[in-house]
């Protein structure tokens, strides 16, 4: 059942409760990247994983199945994390690589390449002139970041995005933290990707407990997918931006990426 994230119990303060849920179970951990393992930053390339966080993720991956599930392109997030023996699901799960290098790509998104190129060109034509804007083309979507845009120009960016969506009934927009992501209107998301991975990797078993860590709107699909069968950890609340309360289907909360990494550290012990 959804509740505002400010009302969620703290995962770090409910250690005994979590341990009881974990008793006799093997873990399968799914981690978002931006805002979950690293703080939200002004530009995507500035989201650098700390050495200490990388060491903890690497150690945890030696003890259980661990996947990075990101809206970033898969090669991008794979390079940023820099750990070989992980599952990487990029582009909201459209592009997946498992340990050993086996790639799994969903082909449904390929047919949208041309329209996404058109969207990218239009965004460059109409948004590039707005100071502070950043257009991030991805394999299966186009993101428009406006974190560095003056507040009185936010509506101008939204108007362009709304016009594009109105003209393309095969596309949808997902708002995030100071970003709009324009993507194909397909029945696929992070939640579907997590469920697919559980089945494909033979992790959909009673003795395996999936946990998902995420901070943004797109992570809610994964929280809902695991409701009643796993644990969702909402990451956020420590910054002024994140204090804007909203409903979530997560089970617990941690304040920020540092707290998320501390929780991962306890799970690795």
Catalytic residues: 32
Q: Where are the beta strands (DSSP E) in 48-90?
A: 65-69, 87-90
Nearest to 28 by CA among 217, 168, 166, 230: 230
Cα separation, 71 vs 145, whole angstroms: 13
What sign does the dihedral 216-221-225-227 (CA atoms) show? positive
**Can you tell me whether residue 257 is helix, strand or coil?**
helix
Q: Name the residue with tokens 């392109």.
A: 73
User: Using alpha carbons only, how large is the chain's radius of gyration in Å?
Assistant: 18
């Amino acid at each position: 059942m959804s509740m505002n994230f400010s009302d969620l119990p703290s995962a770090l303060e409910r250690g005994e409760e979590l341990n009881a849920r974990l008793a006799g179970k093997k873990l399968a951990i799914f981690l978002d990247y931006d805002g979950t393992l690293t703080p939200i930053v002004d530009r995507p390339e500035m989201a650098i994983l700390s050495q200490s966080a990388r060491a903890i993720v690497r150690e945890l991956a030696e003890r259980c199945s661990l996947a990075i599930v990101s809206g970033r392109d898969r090669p991008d997030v794979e390079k940023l994390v820099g750990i070989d023996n992980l599952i990487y699901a990029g582009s909201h799960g459209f592009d997946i690589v498992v340990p050993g290098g086996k790639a799994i790509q969903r082909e449904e998104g390929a047919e949208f390449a041309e329209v996404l190129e058109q969207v990218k060109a239009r965004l460059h034509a109409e948004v590039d002139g707005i100071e502070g804007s950043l257009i991030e083309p991805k394999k299966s979507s186009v993101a428009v970041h406006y974190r560095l845009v003056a507040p009185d120009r936010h509506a101008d960016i939204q108007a362009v995005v709304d016009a594009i969506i109105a003209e393309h009934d095969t596309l949808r927009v997902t708002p995030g933290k100071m970003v709009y992501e324009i993507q194909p209107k397909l029945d696929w998301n992070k939640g579907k990707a997590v469920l697919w991975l559980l089945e494909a990797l033979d992790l959909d078993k009673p003795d395996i407990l999936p946990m998902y860590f995420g901070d943004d709107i797109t992570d809610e699909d994964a929280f809902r997918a695991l409701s009643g069968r796993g644990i969702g950890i909402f990451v956020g609340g420590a910054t002024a931006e994140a204090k804007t309360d909203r409903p979530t289907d997560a089970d617990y909360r941690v304040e920020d990426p540092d707290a998320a990494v501390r929780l991962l550290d306890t799970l690795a012990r």
